[in-house]
Amino acid sequence: MDLTVKPGDDFYQYANGVWLKNNPIPAKETRWGSFNVLRDFNINAVKTILNESAENKNAAPGSLEKRVGDFYASGMDSATIEKLGYTPIKADLKRAGSVKDLKAVLNEVALLKTSGTASPMFGFYVGQDRKNVENMIPQLSQGGTTLPDRDYYLKDDARSKKIQEAYKTYITKLFTLTGVPQATAEKNAETIFSLEKKLAEAQMSRVEMRDPYKTYNKFAVAELSKTTPNIDWKPLMAKMKVTGQDTILVSNPKFFTELNSLLTSTPIADWQTYLQWNVLKSAAPYLSSAFVDANFAFTQTLSGQKVQTPRWQRMSSLTDNAIGELLGQLYVKKYFKPEAKARMNEMISNLVKAYEIRIKGLEWMSDETKEKALAKLHAFKPKVGYPDKWKDYKGLAINRNTFFENVRNSGKWSYDDMVSQLGKPVDRTKWGMTPPTVNAYYSPVMNEIVFPAGILQFPFFDPNADDAVNYGGIGAVIGHEISHGFDDSGSQYDKDGTLRNWWTPEDLTRFKERANSLARQFDAYTVLDTIHVNGKLTLGENIGDLGGLNAAYEAFKMTKQGQSNELIDGFTPDQRFFLAWAQVWRMNIRPETAAQLIITDPHSPGEYRTIGAPVNMDAWYKAFDVKPGDKLYIKPEDRIRIW
Ligand SMILES: [Zn+2]
């Protein structure tokens, strides 16, 4: 903490100042805060499991240890990887570079997607139909680009231009590494950039993409083909292993009509280059060091990271990404305590109780809408720690000596697993995050809140800490995830997860007014020189924080400590509650990463998450004696109250 600062002037510094000063960002990281410290702790825990598994000579064939150990060991075998150079993708490059006509281009797109090689041209996935949630449906989305957002192609300020140049240098470098002459490689870079720029121009902004109605466009497959005469979706879907589906959801139909025009206005030779690029960029992190280094040099421009992440750490993350529910079983066995699950379930039920009290007490909402909101609240399904039913990755071949094939096979396995859900009942046992993940999520179509084992640790959660610390930490995280069900997007889904309005028009207007005020509050926060937080992009997360912290506080006040005034280390229970919240969000961040996240990340920067909710809570003013004249002071009548 920095006790020389007045909490009412700068609560973030007050709660975190000395920590921020004493904890610079490690060279291999792009930001450093509570999340990262816990992630670092976890990745080291995972490393122990991986090393033990990889070194266990007695692991039975097909056992968890054997499969996890072999996957990791293959990635650590840098000598073999180095020797192979780019051999693993030679055949793909040749094939992608020799497509002769449009039909072949599209077939190649399907092949790259289904083989776990790359995801060119557009996005595709299988998920619940949000207007008919018992049904799994194929879904098409905009895509085909490489830079983190369409803005990177469309803007021409100095920061964007620097990244565009670095991107072209990166493309050139990867092509030359496969023997393409420098001049041709440079020409390829221009071709790819200009093609991807056209795809970017057809994309919606991230704010537009947050509208679940705007992005819900259902087509009969035959009808969709009429809007894109150059793409006959029925045979293309068959190539993508999707059969027997009459309808398809499209998030952005305009993207596909633009793509349709691009298909014929772009020479086949350019599509060849584009497809080759997709093979190259997807494989680069898994090839020899020349490719990995080129990839890192480009990432550096984007993120500001100083040195490459060590190989063991990259391979740990990759193992978690590829076979996370095999690794997760070992992780949970070794690190997850059943007591934590019991305590979490108790806290979740207290948070739901607190939320119920708050909904009932809302002065801006009618009884009619309250009833629906309460029904939704009580329909929430929590998942804690790890899945009841594990993915077995049946049929996924993992060989200790073939790293690249392991990565490919796992990509292919995931694709097959995804399309295999079509025509089957929705599997509600599935998890969207792996057990070691330090994060949590809400799914509107499942109406579920999910907390992986990884986040159920200090500083979010500590069974030995006082309630103030746990409610200000994981309690607020639970409240945050519940509030996603009631944020500007989640609130459009009903208790069954269906996208269907349950609000009276008056209540909806009042909710939107309040949400707009919160968006304006965050719009006013600056990050770097002229860059502001995007209040509309971060609105869902900020409603989550405001609703979540209020509910956590309400639940905390029901505990024994919450009702006492006993000081610990000189701080009152309420002060400790808000300090726990503030310390969860402390974070040093590289300016390059901050600039990127402001465009791509729906979460506000940690500094503003720290203050954004408390400045709207009377309890915070009381706890720290914040008065008119203090920099963060907001008049009681201007404080935003949503949930
Ligand atoms: Zn969130």
What count of Cα atoms within 13 Å lies in the side-chain half-sphere of residue 357? 13
> How confident is the model at residue 360, as a pLDDT?
98
pLDDT surpassing 90 at residue 200: yes
Stretch 556-584: mean pLDDT, rounded?
Answer: 97
- Please report the DSSP string for 100-162 in residue order: -SHHHHHHHHHHHHHTTS---SSEEEEEEETTEEEEEEEEEE-----SSSTHHHH--SHHHHH
> How confident is the model at residue 605, as a pLDDT?
97
> What separation in Å is there between the alpha carbon of 481 and the centre of ligand 1?
6
Give the single-character DSSP code of 244: S
Q: How, if at all, do strands 448-452 and 381-385 pair?
A: parallel
Helix (H) or strand (E) holding 330: helix 311-335
How far apart CA 640 and CA 8 sit, in angstroms, is 17
pLDDT surpassing 90 at residue 337: no
> What separation in Å is there between the alpha carbon of 480 and the centre of ligand 1?
6
- Please report the DSSP string for 532-600 in residue order: E--TTTTHHHHHHHHHHHHHHHHHHTTSHHHH----BTTB-HHHHHHHHHHHHT-EEE-HHHHHHHHHH
**Active site annotation includes 481:** yes
* 634 contacts 615 by C-beta, under 8 angstroms: yes
Catalytically annotated residue among 29, 481, 487, 541: 481
**Active site annotation includes 368:** no
> How confident is the model at residue 226, as a pLDDT?
98
Q: Where are the beta strands (DSSP E) in 146-302?
A: 217-220, 247-250
> What separation in Å is there between the alpha carbon of 384 and the centre of ligand 1?
16
Tell me, yes or no, if the pTM score tops 0.75.
Answer: yes
> What separation in Å is there between the alpha carbon of 542 and the centre of ligand 1?
8
Residue 530, classed as helix, strand or coil, is coil
Q: How confident is the model at residue 528 (pLDDT cuts 50, 70, 90)?
A: confident
> What separation in Å is there between the alpha carbon of 541 and the centre of ligand 1?
5
Stretch 621-638: mean pLDDT, rounded?
Answer: 98
> What separation in Å is there between the alpha carbon of 393 and the centre of ligand 1?
29
pLDDT surpassing 90 at residue 338: no
Give the single-character DSSP code of 203: S
Read off the pLDDT of residues 41-86 as tens digits, 9 standing for 90 and up.
999 999 999 999 999 999 999 999 999 999 999 999 999 999 999 9
Catalytically annotated residue among 65, 545, 592, 607: 545
Stretch 22-32: mean pLDDT, rounded?
Answer: 98
Stretch 421-444: mean pLDDT, rounded?
Answer: 97
Rounded to the nearest integer, the mean pLDDT of the chain is 97
> How confident is the model at residue 504, as a pLDDT?
98
Give the single-character DSSP code of 475: I
Q: What is the chain's percent helix, strand, coil content, to nearest 5?
A: 60, 10, 35
Q: Find the range with the poorest average confidence among 335-339, 364-368, 424-428.
A: 335-339
What count of Cα atoms within 13 Å lies in the side-chain half-sphere of residue 245? 30
> What separation in Å is there between the alpha carbon of 380 and the centre of ligand 1?
16
